Amino acid sequence: MTDKATKYGGGSISIRALRKEFEGGFIAVDGINLDIASGEFFSLLGPSGCGKTTTLRMLAGFEQPTSGQIMIDGVDVAQTPPHKRPVNTVFQSYALFPHMDVWKNVEYGLRWTDTPKGERKPKVDAALELVEMTEYAKRRPNQLSGGQQQRVALARALVLEPSVLLLDEPLGALDAKLRHSLRAQLTALQRRVGITFVFVTHDQEEALEMSDRLAVMSKGLIMQIGSPREIYQFPRSEFVADFLGVANLMDVKVSTSGGVGPVKLGDFTLDAQVPQGYTPGMGRAVIRPESVHLEEGDLTGDNRVPGMVERVVYLGSTSQVYVRLPQGSVVQSLVTNAVNEEPWSSGDACRVRMPSDSLHVLETSGDAAWADDEAATASKAG
């Protein structure tokens, strides 16, 4: 990227009790609260049908909410037409005009908004420079790669200097290698222009790599909001733990109401992180594979249970080792492959160590949603 690009300035977003019900009674978005800071890269993550795209379309103005508020920089735009909102959208299908060259594609929005002709050229040139497409200005879309077309679509959106840029799975049509490359470029671009990006994806890796914060959605509800690290390491529900990455989920009996305390895994007692205010009884605990350590079968100590290796999947630099525990559950361990070290084999006896700082009891094992505390408080106050 060139160093000449200027920051456009981002827009803050506050969503309050936003709901969308379609004909037939289908509720796509069910009263969500959400705050997105100015200049933040925020992702809406979830499976198909979870409500993330409907939320984005309501932000854009392409869908009218059944109820609720959408405030951008403190102004409620829920009933404002799309062209009068300080937002622009980049879709998965870039929808470039095939009969226009790159320069005219980017200029089109300025012509439509009646920007004086003398102001268009410097704006278009700056937008193309920002996405490193200046040398392709005279090419038609069919002469560009998928990644280049994506950058043209970004330039066409950015040339209008929106406060908020909405991105509806813009990398979904690209191959895996190109997607990985463009993630870094898109993140760097957002940092440079400084506007708010709201990014919709079902790809967990994309959301973890690119976002400042993200919201995991299911069935029209926000299940959890937080930084990628927070949500990955400290999922609140079984849905979030299972959807975001690989999770070892186990039935445990909890005998404490919070803090580091004992849980029973079959006949074995382990220390785990227990949410404050937890009601003792049966629950579910989670630990990520990279935190599960395999040791020789005769070792003893805290937070260890015996196990038997069932299967080893070689992944190059690592191996995924599946181990059956005495109570019948199977846990996965991610083991680094080192030169001249014998890998684990099917049938090996081992000890499975699950450190207490990585073993977490979930707040809920169902699909209960957890509202962002600040948003919920503001919603009640308003």
Q: pLDDT for 307-321, tens place per residue?
A: 999 999 999 899 999
What is the arithmetic mean of pLDDT over 52-64?
Answer: 96
- Cα Dmax for the chain: 79
The pLDDT value given to residue 86: 92
CB 200 within 8 Å of CB 43: yes
Residue-wise pLDDT tens digits, 144-197? 988 888 888 888 888 888 899 999 887 776 667 777 777 888 888 888 888 999
Name the nearest CA neighbour of 105 among 63, 138, 72.
138
Range of lowest pLDDT (152-161, 240-249, 337-346): 337-346
Report the chain's mean pLDDT, rounded to a whole number: 88
The rounded percent of the chain whose pLDDT value lies above 90 is 63
Place of tokens 């999922």: 235
Confidence of residue 365 (pLDDT cuts 50, 70, 90): low
Please state, in angstroms and as integers, the Cα–Cα distance from residue 34 to each residue in 165, 241, 358, 376, following that order.
Answer: 17, 21, 28, 8
* All residues at 6 or more sequence positions from 327 whose CB lies less than 8 Å from its CB, including other chains: 265, 266, 267
Give the pairing of strands 318-324 and 304-314: antiparallel
Query: pLDDT: is 298 or 296 the higher one?
Result: 296
Name the nearest CA neighbour of 205 among 184, 189, 222.
184
H-helix segments, the chain: 52-60, 102-112, 117-130, 146-158, 176-193, 204-210, 228-233, 238-243, 373-381
The pLDDT value given to residue 381: 32
3-23 as b/e, with b when 16 or more CB fall inside 10 Å? eebeebbbbbbbbbebbbeee
Confidence of residue 334 (pLDDT cuts 50, 70, 90): very high
Angle at 175 between CA 170 and CA 176, to 5 degrees: 95
Q: Is the pLDDT of residue 71 over 50?
A: yes
Name the nearest CA neighbour of 155 among 131, 121, 190.
131
- What distance in Å separates the CA atoms of residue 146 and residue 179, rounded to the nearest whole number? 10
- What distance in Å separates the CA atoms of residue 222 and residue 182, rounded to the nearest whole number? 27
Query: pLDDT: is 44 or 157 the higher one?
Result: 44
| Residue 345: φ, ψ to 5° | -125, 155
User: pTM of the predicted model, to two decimals?
Assistant: 0.85
Domains annotated on the chain, with CATH: 13-234+369-381 (3.40.50.300), 238-361 (2.40.50.140)
What is the arithmetic mean of pLDDT over 44-52?
Answer: 94
